Amino acid sequence: MTPPARRTVYLDHAATTPMLPAAIEAMASHLGRTGNASSLHGSGRAARRTVEESRETIAEALNAQPSEVVFTSGGTEADNLALKGLWWARLKDDPRRRRILLSGIEHHAVLDPAVWLAQHEGAEIEWLPVDDLGRVHPEDVRRAIEQDPDSVSFVTLMMANNEVGTLQPIKEIAALAKAYEIPVHTDAVQAVGQVPVDFADLGVDAMTISAHKVGGPYGIGALVVRKETKLVPIVHGGGQERDVRSGTLDTPATAGFAVAVEHAVKHQADEARRLIELRDHLIEGITTTVPGAKLSGDPVGRLPANAHLSFKDCEGDSLLLLLDARGIEVSTGSACNAGVAEPSHVLLAMGYDDQRARGSLRFTLGHTSARADVDAVLDAIGPVVERAMSAGLQNVGRNN
CA pseudo-torsion sign 91, 97, 99, 100: negative
CATH for 354: 3.90.1150.10
Let me know the angle formed at the C-alpha of 188 by 104 and 352, rounded to the nearest 5 degrees.
30
If asked whether residues 200 and 287 sit together in one domain, one would say: no
pLDDT per residue as tens digits for the range 206-227: 999 999 999 999 999 999 999 9
Domain membership of residue 391 (yes or no) is yes
Asked whether residue 222 falls in the same domain as residue 281, the answer is no
Q: Are residues 163 and 143 in the same domain?
A: yes
Lowest-pLDDT range of 127-136, 203-212, 328-337, 379-388: 328-337
Active site residues: 336
Spatial CA neighbour of 70 closest among 192, 195, 226 = 226
By the 8 A CB rule, do 68 and 224 touch? yes
User: Taking 80 as the threshold, does the pLDDT of residue 233 lie above it?
Assistant: yes
- 187 with 305, same domain: the answer is no
Instruction: Provide the domain limits for residue 166.
Output: 21-266
Same domain assignment for residues 247 and 273: no
DSSP 201-245: HHT-SEEEEEGGGTT--TT-EEEEE-TT-----SS-SS-TBTTTB
Cα–Cα distances (Å) from 141 to 172, 337, 347, 350, in that order, read 10, 32, 20, 17
Task: Give the number of domains in the chain.
Answer: 2
This prediction has a pTM of 0.94
Average confidence score pLDDT of the chain: 94
Residues 119 and 253 occupy one common structural domain: yes
216-237 b/e (C-beta count within 10 Å ≥ 16 → b): bbeebbbbbbbeebbbebbbee
User: Is residue 361 domain-resident?
Assistant: yes
- pLDDT of 264 strictly over 60: yes
CB atoms within 10 A of CB 47: 23
